Amino acid sequence: MSIRHKLKSKLGFGAAPLGNMFRNIPDAEALATVDAAWEQGVRYFDTAPLYGAGLSEIRLGEALAGHKRDDYVLSTKVGRVILDEVEDPAARQLGEKGGVFQHGRPNRIVNDYGADATLRSIEDSLKRLKTDRLDLVFIHDVAQDFYGDEWLARFETARLGAFRVLDRLRDEGVIKGWGLGVNRVEPVELILDLNEPAPDVMLLAGRYTLLDHERALQRVMPAAAARKVDIVVGGPYSSGILAGGTHFEYQKASPDIIAKVERIKAIAQGHGVSVKAAALQFALANPAVAAVIPGASRPERIMEDHAALNEKVPAAFWQEMREQKLVSADAPLPGDSKE
């Protein structure tokens, strides 16, 4: 079931940075960033317990507390339970994302995709978010980047636990939709091949960007469209490298990635285009994509995102990107209808 009509805008807010992603962000700066997003018309906000061990949810809940609940769409994730016990954030085993949230709260994080843990996670998130309901719920990171060869076992636990719980909550009208929130395409391919349950939406982070989109284009987008499952694109700037940062896949970018980004920048400069505009508009050009949710931790980044969304990108830019094989020949592009 498509949920895109429930999203109030195609540009949402990814709240991972509010969990002190990569750096210690002052509370005032975090709250000002959410306020800036609201002022710019953002009405879809996504978070997760993992982000700073609940810190992102706490800050987002504080920032949205003064707004009517019916005026925005809220999503969070299950698969992690945050305890009152403490641990060293820098020592957490987060797979390929080790150290990303080392500046977050020290609360212990337990990975659990079972039915009981799913219900507890939702209850805890509601408290941190200061709300009485969630709109969308994603099952978080049940993929190789966190669990390596054990990811299929985790997926099976989720299939028998979280999948069924969220399917029931959606059918009962408690939530509006659910799906996976992952950084890999394989779990999405797998769930879309199942006869049941029936997810509504997938949050695919970093896998449909200017730097990495081939497999999602070939395997995920057609399957999602066939099942009327919407795609929300997270991480459109590939962890920041496409927005002037130095990270790709949550780590320092390799020389090859840096070189590719420089090629994109050169073409963008030649056409008077910002790379941010190219990144956002590329993701939204695919008809399977319902929304894109870049993350931000500074108010000025919100302004940049909205300017990028509305920036005029000439068809000639996309044509050159195709000619230089920097985007797939089969990828839908904003300029296609104008050529």
Q: Which residues are catalytic?
A: 46, 51, 77
- Report yes or no: 46 and 12 within 8 Å, Cβ to Cβ: yes
Instruction: Specify the residue for token string 């302004």.
Output: 303
Using CB atoms within 10 A of its CB, is residue 261 exposed (0-12), middle (13-18) or buried (19+)? buried
Token pair recorded at residue 216: 């999602």
φ, ψ of residue 261 in degrees (nearest 5): -65, -40
Instruction: Specify the residue for token string 């999948």.
Output: 163
Return the SS3 of 228.
coil
- Report yes or no: 119 and 161 within 8 Å, Cβ to Cβ: no
Measured between alpha carbons, how far is 188 from 142 in angstroms, rounded to an integer?
Answer: 10
Token pair recorded at residue 19: 């969990």
Q: Which residues pair with 78 in a beta bridge?
A: 139
Q: DSSP string of 116-165?
A: HHHHHHHHHHHHHHT-S--SEEEEE--SHHHHGGGHHHHHHHHHHTHHHH
Measured between alpha carbons, how far is 218 from 240 in angstroms, rounded to an integer?
Answer: 25
Element counts in the chain: helices (H) and strands (E)? 13, 12
- Report yes or no: 185 and 202 within 8 Å, Cβ to Cβ: no
From the CB of residue 321, how many other CB atoms can be counted at a distance below 10 Å?
24
